[in-house]
């Protein structure tokens, strides 16, 4: 039996965004315990030329939302990108998870050979087959931004470990 495109995408997107939401809970608790403004974490970047934590979260959400929409051949919902606090970022994750739940399985399964054209930079696009797009673009993009968000929080002392990154589905 082969794995379906839905099984290779939606559960993985949902799992990683759920883990990211968990990171935000730990970040909030860390800021409260240490008595500092959590905005420090929201705006933190690992290097001057990297995007801050809040953008890592927004892009991770967009990677899942847009990736799934492209696979399904539908228009992704537009979010305003105005989130600027840990609670607002958690809400963004929740909205993205709600969207992922709304996309029917049958709109994803069977799209392995579908041509998907997507932005790849400010002024360029790329075209890939559905399976290649999922495995070589959408999922790695999500993992990159979730990992970077993890690294920013870990760098700032939030007690996160591999178990938090890989915690998996919640009951």
Q: Which residues contact 138 (CB under 8 A, 6 or more apart)?
A: 9, 63, 64, 66, 67, 68, 70, 71
pLDDT tens profile 20-55: 999 999 999 999 999 999 999 999 999 999 999 999
Domain boundaries, the chain: 9-165
- pLDDT above 80 (res 1): no
pLDDT of residue 121: 84
pLDDT band at 150 (very low <50, low <70, confident <90, very high): very high
Q: How far apart are CA 63 and CA 118, in angstroms?
A: 11
pTM: 0.94
CATH class of the structural domain 9-165? mainly alpha
pLDDT tens profile 69-124: 999 999 999 999 999 999 999 999 999 999 999 999 999 999 999 999 999 888 99
Q: Which residues contact 24 (CB under 8 A, 6 or more apart)?
A: 57, 86, 89, 90, 93
pLDDT average, residue stretch 145-162: 97
* Sign for the pseudo-dihedral over CA of 158, 51, 81, 124: negative
pLDDT of residue 2: 83
Write out the DSSP string of 103-132: S-GGGTTT-TT-EEEEE-SSS-EEEEEHHH
- pLDDT above 60 (res 171): no
pLDDT of residue 170: 59
């Amino acid at each position: 039996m082969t794995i379906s495109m839905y099984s290779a995408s939606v559960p993985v997107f949902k799992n990683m965004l759920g883990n990211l939401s968990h990171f935000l809970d730990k970040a909030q608790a860390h800021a409260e315990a240490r008595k500092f403004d959590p905005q420090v974490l929201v705006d933190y970047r690992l290097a001057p030329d990297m995007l801050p934590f809040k953008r890592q979260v927004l892009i991770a959400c967009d990677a899942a939302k847009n990736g799934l929409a492209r696979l399904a051949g539908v228009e992704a919902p537009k979010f305003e990108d105005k989130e600027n606090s840990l609670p607002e970022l958690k809400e963004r994750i929740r909205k993205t998870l709600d969207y992922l739940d709304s996309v029917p399985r049958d709109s994803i399964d069977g799209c392995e050979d579908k041509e998907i054209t997507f932005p790849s930079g400010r002024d360029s696009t790329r075209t890939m087959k559905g399976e290649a797009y999922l495995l070589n673009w959408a999922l790695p993009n999500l993992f990159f931004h979730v990992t970077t968000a993890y690294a920013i929080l870990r760098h700032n002392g939030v007690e996160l470990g591999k178990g938090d990154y890989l915690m998996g589905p919640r009951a």
